[in-house]
Amino acid sequence: MRIIVGVSGATGVVMSLYLLKALKSFKDCEVHLVVSDCARKTWELETNYPFEKLVEQADYYYDVHNLAAAISSGSYQTDGMIILPCSMKTLSGVVNGFTDNLLIRAADVCMKENRKVILCTREMPLGKVHLRNMMAAADLGCTIIPPMLTFYNGPNTLDDQINHVVGKILMQFGLDYKNFVPWHGAD
């Protein structure tokens, strides 16, 4: 399996580290990473980790301005793309085909090739423009997975919440994440 991970500048960039670590745990999963300029800044503001900790989890890392990268072409086979977190600016770029950087271009390629595109939109409250763009993305075939809190699985930590989101994302690719606690029903 070959998956592209895009990280945009919305809050919650540390979730991308959890996602990359999870993907790395799957033996036959090749990860291609592209990070926006704003995401790098948000990384510095929100985490105590060096940026290299994120990059080292990927098999391939691309500069967001390199529109000649392999993932910018539909002839380069992938299974799809995950953008976590997905800022409202990136969402708008994806919906409108405004491919001014590699992150949005890679999503555009996946959409035109009918590959999975998972957008983990991050904002609240959601305005009408955000909702309209999410609906447009869904209409274009994207799956919207906002990183929302969950309680049915008995989370005790922020790690538990993030692992739930990562598990929901990976389910879209048929991957069972060991740190995901699904609902088992009630008596």
Binding residues for dimethylallyl phosphate: 152, 168
Distances (CA, A) of 109 to 48, 91, 129, 141, 171: 33, 15, 24, 13, 22
- Ramachandran angles phi, psi of 93, nearest 5°: -60, -40
How many angstroms separate the Cα of 45 from the Cα of each of 10, 62, 90?
A: 11, 22, 19
Query: Token digits for 121?
Result: 């939109």
> Which residues line the annotated binding site?
9-11, 36, 87-90, 122, 152, 168
At 109, which helix (H) or strand (E)? helix 102-112
- Cα–Cα distance measured from residue 37 to residue 34, given in angstroms and rounded to the nearest whole number: 10
Instruction: Classify burial at 127, counting beta carbons within 10 Å of its beta carbon; exposed 0-12, middle 13-18, buried 19 or more.
Output: exposed
Provide the annotated binding site for FMN: 9-11, 36, 87-90, 122
Token pair recorded at residue 34:
């592209």
